[in-house]
């Protein structure tokens, strides 16, 4: 069995990736019925959540049937991310996931999603702050790096593990690579086989 904090899941689990406007409750229900092991909500803006925006707060809703389930948040401001994680924790998810992978321009331009891959020290600092702010296991989803000149995922994985995350999901492209570019699984393998790593490593 694989453990994410105290959560036990199958040795080769299927995780439902968080997808904006896709992984809503009806879609998650269908995926659960067909055998997905871990659910994730759509990603939720930290700023929207701490301001009680209806769209953001509604995304916290889930059914007990969906467990184990993670609530994914994103943002660029560390204090807002702390507050959003604490807000999300009140919904009692099994996991709080931080989105460091979204490549959408308007998200990246603010330094959120995969935009934070341009500032690894801030990424580590934000991760540590969220881990310390909640009791729920914290995981992250990220990419190989910002671009081909900065494929820093092996170092990143070690550093975020050291500040307390319980699992990492890695998308096999950089932020600047388009979906038509085949995913590169070799660096995900390097993270997985790194003797320094002791948390679950998932490929996306």
Active site residues: 102
Would you give the distance in Å from CA 164 to the centre of its chain?
Answer: 14
**In this structure, what token pair is assigned to residue 148?**
């081909």
**For residues 34-43, b (16+ Cβ closer than 10 Å) or e, as one string?**
eebebbbbbb
Q: Which residue, 178, 150, 163, 200, is CA-closest to 38?
A: 200
- The DSSP result for 83-120, as a single string, is HHHHHHHTT--SEEEEEE----HHHHTTT-GGGGGG-H
What is the enclosing helix (H) or strand (E) of 70? strand 69-74
CB burial of residue 165 (10 Å; 0-12, 13-18, 19+): buried
- Tokens 């990603």 sit on residue: 43
């Amino acid at each position: 069995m694989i453990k994410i904090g105290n959560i036990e899941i199958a040795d080769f689990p299927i995780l439902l990736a968080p997808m904006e406007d896709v992984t809503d409750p009806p879609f998650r229900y269908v995926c659960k019925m067909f055998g997905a092991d871990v659910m994730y909500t759509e990603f939720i803006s930290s700023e929207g959540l701490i301001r009680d925006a209806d769209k953001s707060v509604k995304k916290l809703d889930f059914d007990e049937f969906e467990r184990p389930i993670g609530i994914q948040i994103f943002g660029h401001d560390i204090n807002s991310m702390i507050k959003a994680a604490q807000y999300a924790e009140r919904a009692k998810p099994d996991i709080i996931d931080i989105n460091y992978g979204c490549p959408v321009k308007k998200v990246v331009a603010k330094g959120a999603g995969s935009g934070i891959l341009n500032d690894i020290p801030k990424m580590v600092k934000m991760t540590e702050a969220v881990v310390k702010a909640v009791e729920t296991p914290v995981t992250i989803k990220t990419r190989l790096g910002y671009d081909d000149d900065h494929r820093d995922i092996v170092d990143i994985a070690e550093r975020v593990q050291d500040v307390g995350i319980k699992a990492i999901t890695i998308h096999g492209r950089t932020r600047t690579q388009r979906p038509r570019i085949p995913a590169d699984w070799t660096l995900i393998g390097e993270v997985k086989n790194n003797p320094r790593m002791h948390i679950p490593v998932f490929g996306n």
